[in-house]
Amino acid sequence: MQWLKMKLRFVNLILLLISSACAQLGGDPNGYLTYCPCMGRFGNQADHFLGSLAFAKALNRTLILPPWVEYRRGELRSRQVPFNTYFEVEPLKEYHRVITMADFMWHLADDIWPESKRVSFCYKERYSLQQEKNDPDKPNCHAKDGNPFGPFWDTFHIDFVRSEFYAPLHFDVHHSNEAAKWQAKYPAESYPVLAFTGAPASFPVQLENCKLQRYLHWSQRYRDASKDFIREQLPRGAFLGIHLRNGIDWVRACEHVKDSQHLFASPQCLGYKNERGALYPELCMPSKEAIIRQLKRTIKNVRQTQPDNEIKSVFVASDSNHMIGELNTALSRMGISVHKLPEDDPYLDLAILGQSNHFIGNCISSYSAFVKRERDVHGFPSYFWGFPKEKDRKHSNVHEEL
């Protein structure tokens, strides 16, 4: 009897896989959704991806996974890196239907989204940088105007025949019946693909969408590379991963702290309603002295609370100054070595930081936010530079871990 039940379950699984494959080959009758991840670098794009995934599920449309947009020094046009270079596709299907843009364009687009039906979606008219293209009688999304917009769609030879302005609709599908409004206004029969000029999501990521991080699994290449580095380059024992954001562009961004209630990913430590405090400069750009003090304090705390798993090394990820010399000097008496990748690879940095025993990130940075969300999925501890304030830490029992 048990054998028969197992056989029936196996048959049902095969039928489900066949049904899914047939639906994929024949196209999704509920339609598709895609977008250009055209705002910011990876941290911002990752925030937008989680929101877009939730939006596609709410509209019950298959999400066409866009490539990641990258900017290389000295290159005038962005590069589009296939989604599955960094992350696996299959785990996402546990949450919702997805397909890579390459697979969709090469196998389905001619039938489902012929050139005559390629419409670009934007909230309202988007003006071109080339004034001669702006026609007051023919408002346009100008979906391919500028970088990375043009290079992104050109990667798949996509041109648009017209523009659609979807105002006043919006993307918050958690607190209203907005999904039903989208479905009513843009049925799949008339609009097989909703192609947005930018991500159909908010930045920073909505609180309700943070949990979707659990479906983002690193590709085999990055899982292997991160494990190899940890095993071969770091001393045995626990390690502390840190993210230092200190490039000149970040210095300029931090100037906006004084005029802002929130800045970039600051809700991750301050709360979405500032329930854990207001912005202050040290959250964005801690001094070298403050970084060293917090590192020493964290290492000592772990030695006291986890004597069987003491921190033996520090791994540093940074967009500019890794502070390797200063940190090695400051931590040498504690028997701590400091390490970085031999060649910059921000994605491998992320994969390693996600596996560290402890992590200190930048509260304002969406790059740090990616690490924090991944660690939350696995129940790993995370902290932030300068949080809580040092003077508050001395006079309160607030725990640093978030």
14-71 pLDDT tens trace: 433 443 444 455 799 999 999 999 999 999 999 999 999 999 999 999 999 999 999 9
Round to whole Å and give the CA distance between 125 and 122: 7
pLDDT at 128 over 90: no
Average pLDDT estimate for 299-325: 97
pLDDT number for residue 2? 54
DSSP code at position 287? -
Round to whole Å and give the CA distance between 187 and 31: 8
Round to whole Å and give the CA distance between 387 and 396: 12
Average pLDDT estimate for 359-380: 98
- 23-207, what's its fold? Rossmann fold (3.40.50)
Decide: 238 and 78 in contact? Cβ < 8 Å. Answer: no
Average confidence score pLDDT of the chain: 92
Round to whole Å and give the CA distance between 227 and 348: 10
pLDDT at 201 over 80: yes
Average pLDDT estimate for 235-251: 97
Decide: 322 and 340 in contact? Cβ < 8 Å. Answer: yes
Residue 368 CB neighbours (<10 A): 29
Percent of the chain at pLDDT exceeding 90: 86
Q: How confident is the model at residue 397 (pLDDT cuts 50, 70, 90)?
A: very low
* Greatest C-alpha distance within the chain: 75
pLDDT at 129 over 90: no
What's 220-397's CATH class? alpha beta
Q: How confident is the model at residue 398 (pLDDT cuts 50, 70, 90)?
A: very low
Reported as type and span, the H/E element at residue 150 is: helix 149-154
Domain 23-207 and domain 220-397, same fold? Reply is yes
Q: Is pLDDT larger for residue 134 or for residue 84?
A: 84
Q: Is 195 helix (H, G, I), strand (E, B) or coil?
A: strand
Average pLDDT estimate for 232-242: 97
pLDDT number for residue 14? 44
Percent of the chain at pLDDT exceeding 70: 91
Residue 89 CB neighbours (<10 A): 16
pLDDT at 243 over 80: yes
Q: Taking the domains of the chain in order of start, what are their residue ranges?
A: 23-207, 220-397
pLDDT number for residue 393? 58
